[in-house]
Chains A and B, each alone.
Chain A
Amino acid sequence: MSKTILSVDDSKSIRDMIGFTLQPKGYDVIGAGDGLEGIAALKANKVNLVVCDLNMPNMNGLEMVRKVREDRSFDGIPIVMLTTEAQKEKMLAAKEAGAAGWLVKPFDEAKLVSVVNKMIGGAQ
């Protein structure tokens, strides 16, 4: 069974970019528009990895990481943060809260694939 990646981002173009990049590599990609939707999606699906933006309406990335890590049923699901160089502080806070890794924007497709593979060891 292929692994499922959840992309949490308020920008549809980023979600699409993640989907278009990872689907050909054998991953299933689902999307959510903010942290609240993201947690709902985590509950509804068996997700193997979350790629999560920092700045989002309703519930931002940092809050989402905290919520996810509070819930023991999500243990073991790595969260990769999408950040920019300028958000270093927030990124470290997210790491502290339990994010597993990060991708610094702008990133290319190869970088995204390599980080996802590194985290969960490939699509199979």
Chain B
Amino acid sequence: MNPAAESFVQESRDILEDLEGIVLELEADPSDPKRIDAVFRALHTLKGSGGMFGFATLAAFTHHFESAYERIREGKAAVTPELIQLSLASRDHLERMLDAGPDEDGTPATDPATAELVAKIEAMDNSSAPVSAKAANCACFTITFKPEPTALRNGMRPELLIAELQELGDATVSVSTVDVPLLRDLDPAVCHLSWMIELETAADRDAIDDVFIFASDWQIDVQQVEAGTGSDLPAPASSRAESVADSSKSDTSDAARGAQKTDSVRVPSHRLDELMDQLGELVIAQARLNRISTDLGDAGLSSTAEEIERLVTGLRDATLSIRMLPIELVFGKFRRVVRDLSTELGKDVQLSTLGGETEVDKNVIDSLTEPLVHIIRNSIDHGIESPEERRAAGKADRATVAMRARQAGGEVLISVTDDGKGLDAEAIRARGIERGLIAADQDISEDQLFGLIFEPGFSTAKALSSVSGRGVGMDAVRRVIDDLHGAVEVKSVKGRGTEVTLRLPLTLAIIDGLLVKVAGGPFVLPLSNVEECVELPCDENERQSGRSILRIRDQLVPFLSLDTLFGFDRIESSERRVVITSVEGRRTGLVVDEVIGQYQTVIKPLSLYHRGIEGLAGSTILGDGAVALILDAAAIVRRAQNALKSAA
């Protein structure tokens, strides 16, 4: 089998696996249109790509299978136990067809087992006549336009036109910069760009022409494209594909995704890890080269080193982008979670998602599901009121949980917002006092108070439910987010709702670090934890159990000496500084012998033997080949606190 066909088989097996689950769920809830759509989409993808990879028999068979679901979607047939039975049998049959490999001569073959199933499916259909094409209510357009060179001077704003097009539907915008001249010839007021927009919209051609009403003198080309999958399927199939995409706007269109998948490559993730590893080595070697070339001062070597630096940066960005996946993959799982939970708890909750296209490192994505489940559970269980309570509070019966993702600088912000009753500050304070987390008379800000819900063993739920209330949820959230070098924030307005925001770094493999020296050895602190560096005051005599207090802009900040903590001998140095870290909203100073500066750190995992050491997050290799340990500020502060508690 050729590699393309292999990848098709692999993808199809995934689809069939999902299909089984969906069909079983459909059996439990036969009227769920989302599941019917999901089955339909899965089959549509199989059918579309099957033909392209030489599985014509499979494609032809899937067509019959799909037709049955098409009738259900149109309300012409219902989901019956027989249909479920037949669907499962057909699914198994498809699996066998995949096992059998592509058709020998590329034309559909007939075998008795296939014919029998087809006959059964058609008997269910009552009429085997192909379903007539439904008027497509969603169309795809490819729009290319190139503004007149004078357009910008005349006050035309192409970005506003693009925004208008985006309002019409799902638009993929790409810009062409081929006509941009060299910088010395560039007139910034002249428009050199042209755009191509793929628009999937329920609007018609006139609506698109309206957008360009004042741009009649531009080169504009609007073409309607068939959203077919490239196989020679009958016409109704493509219009069906469009209607699927339309009816599942909230889902990412699987039909479209299926089509995209055909020109992408599936790679086992360990190969990516290998690539990352090699790249890490390359970044290190390149840093070494830079050092040598600086030392030698040879012009030829320096310019080569600079060029290599540029190439390595490009290579690094390109490689990191391979690892980036849309967060929609995580969001998608939650439709089911929210649905099941709200049913279980007798609440009416809808999930809305925004920014699913935001891309995050694969490893971050993999770790995100668990904490998000905890947050959503808490929202639905504790935050959202029953429909009766909501009505009494003047809110809509149906509550909304919104998951949003967006990128801000080097971070991804993921927030879960509910419109429930909000956090009860008094109950949290009472519980905090009861658990000994705060003193009864402690003056504590609302942010800090809300932060308590992430403490281990904290739970204010009045009755334990099977969903949450075991008090293991939110502290697990913080642990995972800490591991990802991220942060959690909670905002809440009583009676209005709660928002939990996760801040995560874009990638885990490379971080910005602060290179410091402690007792002669190099260490790296993740820059995301560092707030500032200050001079160490000379009199350190307020010492209590290894901890001292520093006054910074009228705020008291405790600090610890890393050399004492690590059991090193003190090296007296005039360069001693306090690095102020911010961990979980608390500021703690770490005393180091010298601050060397910002350092782009390629994280290498510690050996298995060293991995469990508290306070170390990994290691990295410096430009001169020396190994520096990466410090886990959160764990160090925690360790110091525990030591303090047990001493007291």
Binding site for B on A (CB under 8 A): 49, 69, 72, 75-79, 95-96, 98-102, 118-121
Contacts and interface: CB of A to CB of B under 8 A. Distances in A.
B217 interface: yes
B206 to A, nearest CB: 16
Contact of B154 (A79, A102, A118): A79
Contact of B156 (A69, A78, A96, A102): A78
A52 to B, nearest CB: 12
A78 B156 CA distance: 6
B214 A76 contact: no
A16 B155 CA distance: 24
Given A98-B150, A101-B214, A78 B155 contact: yes
B178 to A, nearest CB: 24
Interface stretch (B157-165, B168-176, B585-593): B157-165
Contacts of B153: 69, 72, 75-76, 98
B157 A119 contact: yes
Interface residues of B, number: 15
11 contacts: A49-B155, A72-B189, A75-B189, A76-B152, A76-B155, A77-B155, A78-B157, A79-B155, A98-B153, A100-B154, A121-B160
What's the dominant secondary structure at chain B's contact region?
loop
Contacts of A49: 155
What's the dominant secondary structure at chain A's contact region?
Answer: mixed
A96 to B, nearest CB: 8
A69 B154 contact: yes
A57 B151 CA distance: 28
B157 A121 contact: yes
Contacts of B157: 78, 119-121
Contacts of B156: 78, 100
A100 B147 CA distance: 12
Closest 8 CB pairs of A and B: A78-B155, A101-B214, A75-B153, A98-B154, A100-B155, A121-B160, A75-B189, A100-B154
Contacts of B217: 95-96
Nearest to A115: B214
Given A69-B150, A78-B155, 9 more contacts: A72-B153, A76-B189, A78-B156, A79-B154, A98-B153, A100-B155, A100-B156, A119-B155, A121-B157
A78 B214 CA distance: 11
Contacts of B213: 101
Nearest to A77: B155
A121 to B, nearest CB: 5
B398 to A, nearest CB: 31
B164 A118 contact: yes
Contacts of A118: 160, 164, 214
Contacts, number: 47
Contacts of B150: 69, 98
Interface core residue of B155, B216, B217 (most chain A CB under 10 Å):
B155
Nearest to A101: B214
Nearest to A120: B157
Contacts of A76: 152-153, 155, 189
B189 A99 contact: no
Contacts of A99: 154
Nearest to B156: A100
Residue of B150, B153, B154 with most partner-chain A CB within 10 A: B154
Nearest to A97: B154
A101 B157 CA distance: 12
A4 B211 CA distance: 23
A51 to B, nearest CB: 12
Contacts of A121: 157, 160, 163
Contacts of A69: 150, 153-154
Contacts of B164: 118
Nearest to B148: A98
Nearest to A96: B217
Contacts of A101: 213-214
B369 to A, nearest CB: 39
Nearest to A76: B155
Contacts of B160: 118-121
B432 to A, nearest CB: 43
B156 to A, nearest CB: 5
Contacts of A98: 150, 153-154
Interface string B316-347: 00000000000000000000000000000000
B154 to A, nearest CB: 5
B186 to A, nearest CB: 15
Interface in B119-164: 150, 152-157, 160, 163-164
A27 to B, nearest CB: 15
A96 B164 CA distance: 24
A72 B216 CA distance: 23
A9 B164 CA distance: 30
Contacts of A79: 154-155
Residue among A69, A79, A102, A118 with most chain B CB within 10 A: A118
B219 to A, nearest CB: 15
A121 B158 CA distance: 11
B497 to A, nearest CB: 27
Nearest to B213: A101
A69 B153 CA distance: 8
Nearest to A98: B154
A78 B157 CA distance: 9
A99 B151 CA distance: 9
A100 B157 CA distance: 10
A120 B156 CA distance: 8
Nearest to B188: A75
A69 B213 CA distance: 21
Given A77-B155, A118-B164, A121-B157, A102 B189 contact: no
B45 to A, nearest CB: 39
Given A119-B157, A121-B163, A75 B152 contact: yes
A124 B277 CA distance: 48
A12 B213 CA distance: 28
Contacts of B154: 69, 78-79, 98-100
A124 to B, nearest CB: 13
A100 B155 CA distance: 6
Question: By CB atoms of chain A within 10 A, which of B153, B156, B216 has the most?
Answer: B153
B188 to A, nearest CB: 9
Nearest to B152: A76
Nearest to B160: A121
A78 B150 CA distance: 11
Contacts of A120: 155, 157, 160
B189 A100 contact: no
B214 A102 contact: yes
Nearest to A65: B154
Contacts of B214: 100-102, 118-119
